[in-house]
Amino acid sequence: MKLSGELTNFAGRLGHEFTRPALLIEAVTHPSMSSPSRADNQRLEFLGDRVLGLVMAEALLEHDPTAAEGQLAPRFNALVRKEACADVARQIDLGKVLKLGRSEMLSGGRRKEALLGDAMEAVIAAVYLDAGFDAARAMIMRLWGARIGDVADDARDPKTALQEWAQARGMTPPKYLQTDRSGPDHAPQFTITAQLPNGAAEAATAGSKRQAEQAAAQMLLTRLESGQTKTPPED
């Protein structure tokens, strides 16, 4: 099996020449394109997540030999979470080579955060199975390397950070309320409001509930840390 010209160029962006091209083809095949004769990338995604985790844990220990577990854990989470994987995927234009079913293509699948993140993990697994751990680690370090030194000590996801902010002040955790949904069924937009017991709130809109919740939490946390608050209007 040979790679198409587009996938050959993509492999070049990865910095890896595949001896088993079928692995890369499987890694970029979304479940919407799977069939009895064509495997999708879900099993590879499962493996790639673990390979990425090991490489990042090792890299963080080497980068800061004196860091405590409490410092390392949020850095690790920031580097391996789906948003980080999707960001790297966009960096190497992974969306361009994804094999998607018609419904996913029509709904903007090549730009979806979760879909890109999953595919990036699958590509990592493909390199690992093709050439071993050292090759996978070398590729990951090329793509993630600069992020390791830049990741902040408090690199928590916004929802976790907002919950910790509230708990530190004796509040119950924030609530996330869906206040609007717009757009067609294949490309919905969700508006979520993050609200604390004291009435402070912010709303954000995104293509998934999870993304909208994270964005609303970040907006509210930023406002709270700047000393400003905004309460929702009364009915």
pTM score above 0.75: no
Q: Please give the CATH topology (third level) of the domain spanning 158-225.
A: Double Stranded RNA Binding Domain (3.30.160)
Between 75 and 156, the higher pLDDT residue: 75
**How many other CB atoms are found less than 10 A from the CB of residue 130?**
19
Q: How much of the chain, in percent, has pLDDT values that exceed 70?
A: 94
Q: What is the dotted CATH code of the domain comprising 5-150? A: 1.10.1520.10
In the chain, the amino acid numbered 231 is T
- pLDDT of 156 above 70: no
Look at 134 and 32; give whichever has higher pLDDT: 134
45 a known binding residue? Answer: yes
Sequence spans of domains, the chain? 5-150, 158-225
pLDDT of residue 228: 56
Using pLDDT thresholds of 50, 70 and 90, give the confidence band for residue 154. Answer: low
Q: What is the percent of the chain where pLDDT is above 90?
A: 57
164 is known to lie in a ligand binding site? no
Is the pLDDT reported for residue 219 higher than 70?
yes
Sign of the alpha-carbon torsion through 195, 200, 205, 210: negative
pLDDT band at 232 (very low <50, low <70, confident <90, very high): very low
Residue 136: per-residue pLDDT: 98
Give the count of beta carbons closer than 10 Å to the beta carbon of residue 128. 24
Q: pLDDT band at residue 103, thresholds of 50, 70 and 90?
A: confident
pLDDT at position 46, please? 97
64 catalytic residue (yes or no)? no
- Round the average pLDDT of the chain to a whole number and report it: 89
Q: Which of 49, 104, 202, 213 is catalytic?
A: 49
Q: Residue 231 has what pLDDT?
A: 46
Who's near 183: CB < 8 A, 6+ residues apart?
A: 189
Q: Is 121 a catalytic residue?
A: yes
- pLDDT band of 233, cuts 50, 70, 90: very low
Radius of gyration in angstroms for the set of CA atoms belonging to the chain, rounded to a whole number: 20
Confidence (pLDDT) at 1: 75
Nearest residue to 163 via CA among 229, 80, 224: 224
pLDDT tens-digit profile of 138-149? 999 999 988 998
Which pLDDT tens digit goes with each residue over 104-139? 888 888 888 889 999 999 999 999 999 999 999 999
The pLDDT, as a whole number, for residue 71 is 83
Q: Which of 40, 104, 113, 121 is catalytic?
A: 121
235 marked among binding-site residues: no
pLDDT per residue over 86-99, tens digit each? 999 999 999 999 99
Total residue length of the chain: 235
